[in-house]
Structure formats: C-alpha cells, structure tokens
Amino acid sequence: MAESLDIIILTYNEEKNIEACLKSTLPLNSNIYIVDSGSTDNTLAICRKFTGNIFDHPFENYAAQRNWALANLPLQGTWIFNVDADHRISEELALELNAILSTQTDADLNGFLISRRTIFMDKWIKHGGHYPTYHANMFRRGYGSCEDKLYDQHFLVNGRTKILKGDIIDIITDSINTFVTRHNHWATLEAQYQFAKKNKPDSTELIQPKFWGNPMQRRRYLKNKYESFPLFVRPVIYFLIRYFIKLGFLDGKTGFVFHFLQGFWFRMMIDIKVYELQKTDSKPDELKA
C-alpha cells in the first residue's frame, strides 16, 4: 500500500529561492505546507502557485518554528519531509523517495538520513569532510522533532533510521555579503550556546554523541571533542585538518574561499564571541551594565 508525504517549508522573504525549491518537489506526490513569518516580498504570491496550505506564524528561532509546524499544521501524511527554501530535491532523491512511498515501509523504520550537497558560488563542495553530511529531514509523522537549540539544530527521530543515497541540494548563499552576515549572526548564537553549556549539561532531548552511532551521532561526538580544545587553537587545527588532511584543497579556488570562511573564519568568530562573553562574565556585577 502506498504511503503519503507532507513537505514543510519555512519561509521569510525567499522570493529568490522559493520557486526553484517548490519546482524541485513537483516529482513527489506530496502535500506542501508553507510556514511564513511575515514575508514582505513576493514569496507568498509564488507559493500560492504551488499550494494553498500557507500558514503564518511569528518567528522566534528555527527550532521553535519547526516544532510549531509539527504540532499545529493539519498534517495528514505518513511521512514528513522538512525542506528549507534554499534547498532543492535532486532528481535522484525524488526517484528514491517515490520508490519508498510506493510500498509500505517496515513498521520500525521511522526516519531517513539524507545528505546535503552544498553548492557555494555555483560549485559543489565535495571535499574537506563536508560531503556527505547527513540530516534526518524526513521521518514518520509523530516520531520526529527538532532539537531545541539556537543554532546547528538537527531533527531527532524516535526509532530506527535508514541512510538514503539521493541528496538535498543546498544553495547556501546568493552572495558573500549574505554568507558573512548570516554566519556572523549564527556565530553569536553558537557562542551563547557554548558559553551557557559550561554551566548546564546538554539535554537528553539533543542528539546523543556516539562515535559508533549513526552519522549524526558521530558528527555530534566529534563536535563535542572539538569544543573541548582551547579557544583560538581549535579553529586553526580544524582548518588544517579539513583543508589538507581531508583534501579540501581539491575544491579549487572557490573551495578555498568556502573552507576558509566556513571552516576557519566562522569558527574563529565563535571563539572570539565566547571569549567576549567570558570577559564580560568575569567583571564585577556593577561593571556589567
């Protein structure tokens, strides 16, 4: 018996991305749900050409928005697929998903891990340990949620997962200015998280770090190991491993720009912001205002 699919897409002023995203979902026989947070451009007009399931909800953070959508949308499908506006469903993934949806899956299989294919300045970043990178974007309705984190949130799946071969194509920026602005904001959020984490252990509702676990658990294990290294030293070590040992240099000039910005500059900005928080916290209370 065939199984049904609901696709959830979060939007905010995504007129440059949303049409290509929605077109890439057309090969899938799915119900599309848009959760918008106050777009003022043509995003919603474009969305209405593809679906009438458009909902408005104020944006707090990505985790809260995704979990609100899971809890409040009139979802009907057997499976839920979470897609970002700058994502594209590859032809290979669409074929793979249609094959899965055409039959009844095992009752204990509750999620699928799908790799992102990062496209930066029109180039596929294949090296530096950046591909494949798996995320549990698709799960059985009622068996998934989003981690309650301000940055680097992953979907949690209750039950067995399976790795798929097809990719989500991730168009991560329309310009270097956009990339830098976004990552500066995300560096602030990640710094706040790392600083607060010193005094508060991770929740059991986050992905649990396991070296021998699934790809997401292994990645979280390695991230925790990275965070145990000293500030300002760890970005240097990480970049050297990523660019030389993991062959990031094979991505050419465009790859160098990406690996430098995302693998060194971004992480150094996090450390600088953590250091700033530590300096502020060490001041006497009367000087903290």
| Residue 205 pLDDT greater than 80, yes or no | no
Q: How far apart are alpha carbons 209 and 227 in whole angstroms?
A: 13
Each residue of 260-272: pLDDT tens digit?
A: 999 999 999 999 9
| Residue 232 pLDDT greater than 90, yes or no | yes
Q: What is the 3-state secondary structure (H, E, C) of the chain?
A: CCCCEEEEEEECCCCCCHHHHHHHHCCCCEEEEEEECCCCCCHHHHHCCCCCCEEECCCCCHHHHHHHHHHHCCCCCCEEEEEECCEEECHHHHHHHHHHHCCCCCCCEEEEEEEEEEEECCEECCCCCCCCCEEEEEEECCCEEECCCCCCCCEEECCEEEEEEEEEEEECCCCHHHHHHHHHHHHHHHHHHHHHHCCCCCCCCCCCCCCCCCHHHHHHHHHHHHHCCCCCCHHHHHHHHHHHHCCHHHHHHHHHHHHHHHHHHHHHHHHHHHHHHHHHHHCCHHHCC
Residue 174 is predicted with a pLDDT of 79
| pLDDT band per the 50, 70, 90 thresholds, residue 163 | very high
| pLDDT band per the 50, 70, 90 thresholds, residue 109 | very high
| Residue 289 pLDDT greater than 60, yes or no | no
CA 143 from chain centre, in angstroms, equals 18
Residue 203 is predicted with a pLDDT of 61
Each residue of 12-28: pLDDT tens digit?
A: 999 999 999 999 999 99
Q: How far apart are alpha carbons 155 and 46 in whole angstroms?
A: 27
Residue 1 is predicted with a pLDDT of 65
The candidate with the shortest Cα–Cα distance to 223, out of 276, 116, 149, is 149
All structural domains of the chain: 5-171 (3.90.550.10), 176-287 (no CATH)
Q: How far apart are alpha carbons 212 and 234 in whole angstroms?
A: 23
Percent of the chain scoring above 70 in pLDDT = 96
Residue 240 is predicted with a pLDDT of 98
| Residue 197 pLDDT greater than 90, yes or no | no
Whole-model pTM over 0.95: no
Q: Average of pLDDT values for 235-245?
A: 98
